[in-house]
């Protein structure tokens, strides 16, 4: 009897250590896909690492000063949108019509507010438009020209579609058209999840979608529950991958609901969900933070651009498996 | 010991009775909202009841002959889309620009395939376009003009936007504009869930969205996981209500995940989820069927147009609480 009580105390101490509350934390991804050391020049690798570091430090500093997780997520994603390296904002992939059409979403885990936009062609920073939809409209999800009018009416920076187009993505499109393929297995979607000092979790995701996409296709990124989800009681998640499979598996919310309903850890929940994606024939990855500050960065592709930073001193930037 | 075994046997017999497999079943809704006996003429009540009966019998006959749940769902929803009574297809509500813009989605619980369209103005039967996206494209979600081009290329019937517009909805828009309001608390979205003889569940939902909507707003209806979800291992769900709240609560998948992860019954799961919607300030309802053929028709509004029919002889059509 006495031994059992001692064991119980030991278990509870150990589990509380495991769930030691982190003050604040941030995690970011720049897309998952067939990213291998063999296919990457040293210069490109350095460029990706530097941009990921700049992005995560931008968000981290906001959290460190007591800023909100929403501000950290938006500012971090803007850095990646403004960089040509990633498939979001400037440097987005091109549709079949040689146009950049972008999707983005953001969610506030404190009150489950959310905002999303799809198919926008002229908004310099789609993540900021998603946040405006969340905070300054009665809606969650606006699309196309309507979303652009809304963003313009709120004073967001509007640019020509040419601003987003790069030679690298034009070449990818020409290659995809030659092979008549949709999916080049390099998903460059960007995303970020942050936990601030007040315990509020926010998630955001931004993308140019799929090279050679047709018919105003919408992927998982602007779908709350698939591409993005945040809930202070469970976790925040941002997805990157083959969007159709992420929608069908309701990826971001499936991870959260395993934490809520099965009391699973965020890394086990994420593994289960990514296995579901794989079993249907899809691939990709996610980043997430749970309410204790535990971070997950998981994927079933060769690589995923990713970085994490926590108030306990943890810091990591990685590309390959 | 012997008594315990007897008790266990008794419990397992009783619980298997409770989950007695229904051969096939179908449930339909025509929207939830402030629908009260006091506000309804006898003629309108009769018209709604007759159309709900025609719709559910159409799907039921398909199931009875051994047809698929997908065929039953599509055919049932087409009847409601072609009727002026409901806010889907002909008779859809009007946007701020006096245009009908429709959303729809469908999901196959057997393989988790799904299709959705949003913001279409010229496709006579949006539910059929959603099914074509699922079965004849590499995508899950197409929007706007792209979705229309796709549907046209597959031979779907295309009509002018005027076809959808009715005097009743024009009056509603003028009223909404006068009061500068978005939500008239009468959500007329239509939806259907069916379980066929092979045990396959399918769900579909179709809507004209919200009266006076702006900026190409997208609601929950085309969002897999929010407006529609189907999984043979759990249930099929179709939602109707204030879309923004249904997106934020990932309503359809939240019900499924409580069945999957907490082993809850479909009616308890639905009640929990609709309470989450209510707690955020939203309202609406859902219909669903679980893998045993148990049907749920739940809502937190004054009324919901709804009907069910099962192979065991159950048959019900209702409007009010």
Inter-chain Cβ pairs, chain A and chain B, closer than 8 A: 137
Does the beta-carbon distance from A143 to B182 stay under 8 Å?
no
Name the 3-class secondary structure at A129: helix
- B22-320: CATH topology is 3.60.20
Name the 3-class secondary structure at B12: helix
Contact A73, A106 (CB under 8 A): yes
Does pLDDT of B17 surpass 50? Answer: no
Does the beta-carbon distance from B145 to A243 stay under 8 Å?
no
Instruction: Tell me what pLDDT residue B179 has.
Output: 84
Which has the closest alpha carbon to B282: B273, B290, B291? Answer: B273
Cα B198 from Cα B110, distance rounded (Å): 10
Name the 3-class secondary structure at B23: coil
Q: Does A152 touch chain B (CB under 8 A)?
A: no
Which pLDDT band, with edges at 50, 70 and 90, does B20 fall under?
low
Cα B29 from Cα B203, distance rounded (Å): 12
Does pLDDT of B12 surpass 60? Answer: no
Cα B266 from Cα B175, distance rounded (Å): 38
Over residues A308-314, mean pLDDT: 97
Cα B188 from Cα B284, distance rounded (Å): 10
Chain segment B195-213, per-residue pLDDT in tens: 999 999 999 999 999 999 9
Write the residue in A114, A118, A217 that is nearest to B248 by C-beta.
A114
Over residues B206-224, mean pLDDT: 94
Using CA of residue A279, residue A282, residue A284, residue A288, what is the dihedral sign? negative
Which pLDDT band, with edges at 50, 70 and 90, does A197 fall under?
very high
Contact B66, B27 (CB under 8 A): no
Residues of A in contact with B150 (CB under 8 A): 214-215
Chain segment B256-311, per-residue pLDDT in tens: 999 999 999 999 999 999 999 999 999 999 999 999 999 999 999 999 999 999 99
Look at the block and give the residue holding tokens 């495991």.
A18
Cα B202 from Cα B192, distance rounded (Å): 8
How far is CA B234 from its chain centroid? 17
DSSP letter (8 states) at residue A163: G
Q: Does B247 touch chain A (CB under 8 A)?
A: yes
Residues of A in contact with B217 (CB under 8 A): 139, 141-143, 146
Quote the crossing angle between the two packed helices A266-279 and A251-262, to the nearest 10°.
130
What is the model's pTM? 0.93
Q: Does B182 touch chain A (CB under 8 A)?
A: yes
Q: Looking at chain B, how many residues does it have? A: 321
Residues of B in contact with A224 (CB under 8 A): 223, 226, 247-248, 250
Does the beta-carbon distance from B247 to A224 stay under 8 Å?
yes
Cα B179 from Cα B43, distance rounded (Å): 28
Name the 3-class secondary structure at A46: helix
What are the residues whose beta carbons fall under 8 Å from the beta carbon of B82, sequence distance 6 or more? B89, B90, B125
Name the 3-class secondary structure at A113: strand
Q: What is the DSSP string of A235-286?
A: EEEEEEE-HHHHHHTTHHHHHHHHHHHH---HHHHHHHHHHHHHHTT--EEE
* Strands annotated E in chain B: 25-33, 102-108, 113-120, 141-143, 190-195, 201-207, 217-218, 228-230, 235-241, 284-290, 295-299, 303-310, 315-320
What are the residues whose beta carbons fall under 8 Å from the beta carbon of B144, sequence distance 6 or more? A119, A143, A144, A216, B118, B119, B120, B216
Which pLDDT band, with edges at 50, 70 and 90, does B8 fall under?
low
DSSP letter (8 states) at residue B39: G
Residues of A in contact with B141 (CB under 8 A): 217-219, 223, 247
Write the residue in A141, A145, A248 that is nearest to B218 by C-beta.
A141
- Alpha-helical (H) ranges within A19-143 are 42-64, 69-82, 126-136
Using CA of residue B198, residue B274, residue A256, residue A319, what is the dihedral sign? positive
ipTM of the complex: 0.93
Q: How many CA atoms lie within 13 A of A93 on its CB side?
A: 29
Contact B264, B258 (CB under 8 A): yes
Over residues A181-199, mean pLDDT: 84
Residues of B in contact with A143 (CB under 8 A): 118-119, 143-144, 216-218
Instruction: Tell me what pLDDT residue B35 has.
Output: 86
Domain boundaries, chain A: 22-320
Instruction: Tell me what pLDDT residue B1 has.
Output: 55
Q: Does B189 touch chain A (CB under 8 A)?
A: no
Cα A28 from Cα A55, distance rounded (Å): 8
Name the 3-class secondary structure at B161: helix
Write the residue in B114, B146, B217 that is nearest to A141 by C-beta.
B217
φ, ψ of residue B240 in degrees (nearest 5): -150, 130
Cα A279 from Cα B171, distance rounded (Å): 50
Q: Does B113 touch chain A (CB under 8 A)?
A: yes
Does the beta-carbon distance from A216 to B144 stay under 8 Å?
yes
Cα A23 from Cα A19, distance rounded (Å): 12
Residues of B in contact with A139 (CB under 8 A): 213, 215, 217, 244
Strands lying side by side in the sheet with B217-218: A315-320, A303-310, A25-33, A190-195, A201-207, A102-108, A113-120, A141-143, B217-218
Q: Which of B14-23, B192-201, B212-221, B232-241 has the lowest mean pLDDT?
A: B14-23
Which pLDDT band, with edges at 50, 70 and 90, does A62 fall under?
very high
Contact B50, B319 (CB under 8 A): no
Write the residue in A223, A257, A280 that is nearest to B223 by C-beta.
A223
């Amino acid at each position: 009897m006495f031994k059992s009580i001692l064991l119980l105390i030991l278990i509870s101490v150990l589990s509380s250590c495991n769930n030691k509350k982190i003050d604040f934390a941030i995690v970011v991804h720049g897309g998952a896909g067939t990213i291998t050391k063999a296919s990457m020049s040293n210069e490109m690798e350095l460029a990706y690492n530097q941009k990921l570091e700049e992005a995560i430090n931008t968000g981290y500093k906001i959290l460190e000063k007591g800023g909100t997780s929403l501000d950290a997520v938006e500012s971090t994603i803007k850095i990646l949108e403004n960089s040509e390296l990633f498939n979001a904002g400037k440097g987005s992939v091109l549709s079949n019509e040689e146009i950049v059409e972008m999707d983005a979403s953001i969610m506030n885990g404190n009150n489950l507010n959310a905002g999303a936009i799809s198919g926008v062609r002229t908004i310099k920073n789609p993540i900021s438009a998603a946040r405006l939809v969340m905070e300054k409209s009665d809606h969650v999800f606006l699309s196309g020209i309507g979303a652009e009018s809304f963003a313009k009416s709120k004073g967001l920076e509007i640019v020509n579609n040419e601003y987003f187009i790069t030679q690298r993505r034009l070449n990818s499109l020409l290659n995809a058209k030659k092979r008549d393929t949709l999916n080049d297995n390099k998903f460059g979607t960007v995303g970020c999840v942050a936990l601030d000092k007040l315990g509020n979790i926010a998630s955001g995701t931004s993308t140019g979608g799929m090279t050679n996409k047709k018919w105003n296709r919408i992927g998982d990124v602007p779908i709350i529950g698939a591409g993005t989800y945040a809930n202070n009681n469970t976790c925040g998640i941002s997805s990157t991958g083959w969007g159709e499979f992420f929608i069908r598996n309701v990826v971001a919310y499936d991870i959260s609901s395993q934490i809520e309903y099965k009391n699973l850890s965020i890394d086990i929940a994420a593994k289960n969900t990514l296995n579901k994606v794989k079993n249907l024939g899809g691939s990709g990855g996610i980043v997430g933070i749970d309410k204790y500050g535990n971070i997950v960065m998981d994927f079933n592709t060769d690589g995923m651009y990713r970085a994490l930073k926590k108030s306990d001193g943890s810091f990591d930037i990685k590309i390959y498996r």
